[in-house]
Amino acid sequence: MDKKTHDLTRGEKEKIIVIRNLNKYFGELKAVSNVNLEIKRGQVVVIIGPSGSGKSTLLRCINHLEEPTTGDILIDGVKLRHKSKSLNAIRREVGMVFQQFNLFPHLTVLENITIAQKIVRKRSKKDAIEIARQQLERVGIPEKENSYPIQLSGGQQQRVAIARALAMSPKVMLFDEPTSALDPEMINEVLDVMLDLAKEGMTMVVVTHEMGFARNAADRIIFMDYGAIIEDTTPNKLYNNPKHERTKLFLSKILH
């Protein structure tokens, strides 16, 4: 294994996510259709597309919350195989932020951020708390560490969820419509945190229809429809001359 790593060219090493010929069926329904995708370290990739086009499923395949029907996924050169022990090891390198936050309601904010550090990363309680406090500082709510999730606004909950994922020191962050469940006045506080993260060089895959974020942060933007990648380009090119009719139609809807 060590030999192989040395043999890799620098280009290969830069690809932190490699997806080859990915297909995902739910029964008869093809949710993801023959997706090939390579993402380099530090890239910010935004995925857009109509509801039901397979964006969430693609994202969930990347950390195997869904088992791909066929195809390969490599994270930092390691192939994911379902049910293998290495899956937990890979998952902690891939942070995920959900639309519905999914904070643990029976734990305080601080416990939400420290629990996986302690039992998965095997960090000491002291280290875990220190890291949790740094992350809370970063997302701008250090004063809430002893609150329970239910006592927080939606925007605050989502920022805690981001802090929780970041505290695991992941190599990649996945975001599945992180602002869709938020009241409009709270969207920016979450997007600002994500923008900072992008500037710091985190590799991010973000499903969102927030075009401001895409314009400011994305290196690439991907348009999906019927489970397939239709366009894979830069935000500017996509707005200024989308190649496909379907992309134009979709953009005209979300850019009102």
Ligand X SMILES: Nc1ncnc2c1ncn2[C@@H]1O[C@H](COP(=O)(O)OP(=O)(O)O)[C@@H](O)[C@H]1O
Interface residue list for other proteins (CB under 8 A): 63, 65, 88-89, 91-92, 94-96, 98, 100, 102-106, 115-116, 119-121, 150, 161, 164-165, 168
3-state secondary structure 109-120: HHHHHHHHHHHC
Query: Residues 21 to 80: which contact Mg ion by CB under 5 A?
Result: 56
- CA distance linking residue 54 with residue 5, whole number of Å: 33
Distance of closest approach, residue 118 Cβ to other proteins, in angstroms:
9
Q: Determine which residue in the list 8, 29, 89, 120 makes contact with ligand X, applying CB under 6 A.
A: 29
How far is CA 109 from its chain centroid? Answer: 21
Q: Which residue is nearest to ligand X (CB)?
A: 56
The answer to whether residue 209 forms part of the interface with ligand X (CB under 6 A) is no
Which residue lies nearer to Mg ion by CB, 145 or 177? 177
Determine the residue type at 217: A
Identity of the residue, 57 or 157, whose beta carbon is nearer to ligand X in the bound complex: 57
The window from 45-53, 101-109, 158-166, 233-241 that contacts ligand X (CB under 6 A) reads 45-53
Amino acid symbol at 86: S
Distance of CA 227 to the CA centre of its chain: 18
Query: Which does residue 156 touch among other proteins, ligand X, Mg ion, none (CB within 5 to 8 A, set by kind)?
Result: none
By the rule CB under 6 A, 53 interacts with ligand X: yes
Q: How far is the CB of 254 from other proteins (least distance, A)?
A: 25
Which of other proteins, ligand X, Mg ion, none lies near 9, with the C-beta cut-off 5 to 8 A by kind?
none
Q: What is the DSSP string of 160-183?
A: HHHHHHHTT--SEEEEESTTTTS-
Binding residue for ligand X, selected from 16, 17, 22, 31, defined by CB under 6 A:
31
For strands 203-207 and 172-176, give the pairing.
parallel
Q: How far is the CB of 72 from Mg ion (least distance, A)?
A: 23
Determine the angle formed by the axes of helices 154-166 and 109-119, rounding to 10 degrees: 20
Cβ proximity to ligand X: between 24 and 144 the closer is 24
Closest residue to Mg ion in the complex (CB)? 56
Q: Which is nearer to ligand X, 43 or 57 (CB)?
A: 57
Q: Which residues of 67-85 are buried (b: 16+ CB within 10 A; e: fewer)?
A: ebeebebbbbeeebeeeee
Q: How far is the CB of 62 from other proteins (least distance, A)?
A: 10
**Residue ranges with strand state E in the chain:** 15-26, 29-40, 44-48, 70-75, 78-79, 94-97, 172-176, 203-207, 220-225, 228-233
Instruction: List residues binding Mg ion (CB under 5 A).
Output: 56
Instruction: List residues binding ligand X (CB under 6 A).
Output: 26, 29, 31, 49, 51-57
